[in-house]
Structure 1
Amino acid sequence: MAELHGATARQRVFLTGASSGIGMALARAYAQQGAVLGLVARRAAELEALRASLPAPDGQAHRVYALDVTDHAALQSAAEAFMAEFGGADVVIANAGISQGTLTEYQEDLAAFERIMAVNVTAAFATFTPFVARMKALPEAQRRRCRLVGIGSVAGIRGLPGAEAYSASKAAMISYCESLRVELRACGIKVVTVAPGYIDTPMTQVNHYRMPFLMPADQFAERARRTIEDGVSYRVIPWQMGVVAKLLRALPNWLYDMAFARAPHKKRNL
């Protein structure tokens, strides 16, 4: 999209939660398309291993930023360093997320609830903040190629028992991105919400229950990349889970409650 130091135009992608799962798959999908990446995650060794495995566009090395996304000052510094080096960013993906079973009846689960909300929601705000003003200052044609992307979940469409924090965080992400999308519509910056169903990653591999329409992470990432490129406002991937999500949303509360009262729970205290 934008030129890098006068070289051939390349997409510049800043991605959190890059060291495993969906984040790693997205990094590979974008690198295969020739993008230059800013990779953010806590684990430095895993980030370096990922960077070493990715093709680099025209000698442009990808950048890694080992930090916790709840450290907002460090996150802002990483964003500013990426923009300073590459002249901005075209795609910013707030993907960092954690999942754990939580139950309100247990006081000790409060810390897990707060941590999940901090990583899955507040960090998305902190991820986007450094980029918005810079994007808004671009000429109109360039603004319309910019993307701010929030990774939600079908778990945010209706609350799942035993996943109170995770469902709440993903519902918040969906609503937050919708608010931001409407806010930025006039200036042409696209805000995209991608809601994964069950994707085969370390996060889902600990689930001990049936996961319908389970999708390999690389297939999800390529479909998500195309969704982002097209500037689609909201999409559930895979599409079959999108149909299920619409049906669940349409159920009256009494029927939904009866159907899901005995649904399997995520493990607590992971």
Structure 2
Amino acid sequence: MSAPSTTAGLAPLVFITGASSGIGQALAERYARAGWRLALVARRATELQAWVEAQGLDCGRAAVYGADVAQIASIAGAGDACLARQGLPDVVIACAGISVGMDSAEREDLEVLRETLLINNVGLAATFQPFLRAMRQRGSGTLVGVASVAAVRGLPGHGAYCASKAGVVAYCESLRLECRRHGLKVVTLLPGYIATPLTARNPYSMPFLMPVERFAEQAYQAISAGSSRRVIPWQMAIVAKLLRLLPDPLYDRVMGRRGRKPRRG
């Protein structure tokens, strides 16, 4: 798919957080191949800049912004810098997130919950905020929230992660309803198990594990189509529906034996 045209003869612009690795970097590579301009955000800005240069992308094609999504002023500032330097994006993808196991019996793990919600939820909203007013005035734009199949039901040791990703789904649905009359699209992606550094540490089986490049291709197509919600891979969409239908006693017996997400450290 070729890149759509945009104003002033420039290629369209995509703004991606969490672009230094994993899903964010795979999406950056996919959009680059489609001819888009890139606004890439990560805490590890030096590492991300090295990746951009290795791809042969000059300053006219890609810009790197160092920011921490855990700090509202930092990530919102990256959005403001993008507006000043590259203009208003056509697509904004909030990829940055963390996944850490927790045990609610341990007081220090309440900090894990706080940090997870701050990054995965508040950070996502702060990623979108700098662009919303201008997108509404323009009457076009796509906002993409990356949730997870873990949003569907709770998993042992995943209390923080499951809660945060369920929050992403609900927040993006609310935002979609708010933005519809302004001509904006809001896409929620729910990845299953994707082969990234984040999942490499999981000590349990991961059915339908998908290479990150294949995920990026399917996500790119879903975003281009303006899908309101897409589970990737499709097999996990079936699994998610079945899990949702399981009565609680049966779900508890099946999933209660599953390995827990490791706690920090």
TM-score with structure 2 setting the length: 0.95
Structure 1 regions of 5+ residues with no counterpart?
none
- SS in structure 2 at match of 1:203: coil
* Equivalent AA in structure 2 for residue 23 of structure 1: G
CA contact (8 A) 1:36 1:56 kept: no
CA distance in 1, matches of 2:218, 2:176: 21
Question: 2:49 aligns to what?
Answer: 48
Structure 2 regions of 5+ residues with no counterpart?
none
Choose which of 205, 209, 212 in structure 2 pairs with 1:214.
209
CA distance in 2, matches of 1:76, 1:238: 31
Question: 2:234 aligns to what?
Answer: 239
* Equivalent AA in structure 2 for residue 228 of structure 1: I
- SS in structure 1 at match of 2:70: coil
Question: 1:32 aligns to what?
Answer: 33
CA distance in 2, matches of 1:129, 1:77: 10
CA distance in 2, matches of 1:55, 1:228: 25
Q: Deviations over 1:209-230 (max 9, x none)?
A: 1110000000000100110010
CA contact (8 A) 2:36 2:61 kept: no
- SS in structure 2 at match of 1:107: coil
CA distance in 1, matches of 2:46, 2:57: 19
Question: 1:108 aligns to what?
Answer: 108
Question: 2:66 aligns to what?
Answer: 66
Alignment of 1:162-181 (within 5 A): 162-181=157-176
- Across the two proteins, how many residue pairs are aligned to each other? 262
Choose which of 194, 206, 228 in structure 1 pairs with 2:223.
228
Q: Deviations over 1:64-105 (max 9, x none)?
A: 111211221122221112122222110001110111110111
Alignment of 1:2-151 (within 5 A): 3=6, 6-7=8-9, 9-56=10-57, 60-138=60-138, 140=139, 143=140, 146-151=141-146
- SS in structure 1 at match of 2:114: helix
CA distance in 1, matches of 2:203, 2:70: 29
Alignment of 1:146-157 (within 5 A): 146-157=141-152
* Equivalent AA in structure 2 for residue 40 of structure 1: V
RMSD: 1.4
CA contact (8 A) 1:31 1:55 kept: no
CA distance in 1, matches of 2:126, 2:87: 20
- SS in structure 2 at match of 1:101: coil
CA distance in 1, matches of 2:145, 2:39: 16
CA distance in 2, matches of 1:53, 1:88: 26
